[in-house]
Amino acid sequence: MIKNCMKRVIAVNIHQTVKVDDELEIKAYYAGHVLGAAMFHVKVGGESAVYTGDYNMTPDRHLGSAWIDKVRPDVLITETTYATTIRDSKRARERDFLKKVHDCVAKGGKVLIPVFALGRAQELCILIDSYWERMNLKVPVYFAAGLQLFPLSPLFVSFERKSRKI
């Protein structure tokens, strides 16, 4: 049954418009939330909706920001995890985080950073690598993937920085 369903799946590129029939049109946009995240503008006759999970309007170190044409949908359907949360600026949060990590390792401690969100591990690796380089720190940094532990590689960080350009 799943194989039959998958035969009907059509891959859609970002900014591609798919005209299903005379009334239904769907256009994909980059959501900027995680690698591969998309939002969709769906038009049916004279009405339209924008459907998306999370989206991010601020570029990260490894992902660009969301982008959509100027549209005026009749309905917006979106995830709202942090809709009512007021947070410090990203710069302030990163500064506080790096200060705590630096203070810990300067005293000989070790830092374990559990990361649950897809893509956040890459963002933190780039943040830490940039800070380590700027501060000339020689403390090794490791990240885990599955059950394996890897040293933070300059090749990985370089790839992540370059792949951000969409």
159/61 Cα distance (integer angstroms): 11
- Which of 56, 77, 98 is the last residue in one of the domains? 77
Catalytic positions, written as ranges:
79
Surface-to-core class of residue 36, CB atoms within 10 Å of its CB (0-12 exposed, 13-18 middle, 19+ buried) = exposed
**Are 13 and 39 found together in one domain?**
yes
Q: How does the average pLDDT of the chain come out, rounded? A: 84
Q: Is residue 83 part of a domain?
A: no
**Are 94 and 158 found together in one domain?**
yes
Q: Is residue 71 part of a domain?
A: yes
Give the residue numbers spanning the domain of 107: 90-163
**Are 54 and 15 found together in one domain?**
yes
**Are 65 and 102 found together in one domain?**
no
pLDDT band at 165 (very low <50, low <70, confident <90, very high): very low
**Are 8 and 58 found together in one domain?**
yes
Q: Is residue 85 part of a domain?
A: no
The residues facing 42 across adjacent strands are 26, 49
- Which of 54, 77, 100 is the last residue in one of the domains? 77
Q: Report the domain count for the chain.
A: 2
Percent of the chain with pLDDT over 90: 47
Q: In degrees rounded to 5, what are phi and psi of residue 24?
A: -110, 125
In Å, what is the CA distance from 105 to each residue of 96, 139, 140? 15, 8, 10
- Which of 77, 103, 134 is the last residue in one of the domains? 77
* pLDDT (tens digit per residue) in 99-146: 999 999 999 999 988 886 666 788 888 899 899 999 999 888 887 766
In Å, what is the CA distance from 6 to each residue of 9, 40, 60? 5, 20, 33
pLDDT band at 84 (very low <50, low <70, confident <90, very high): confident
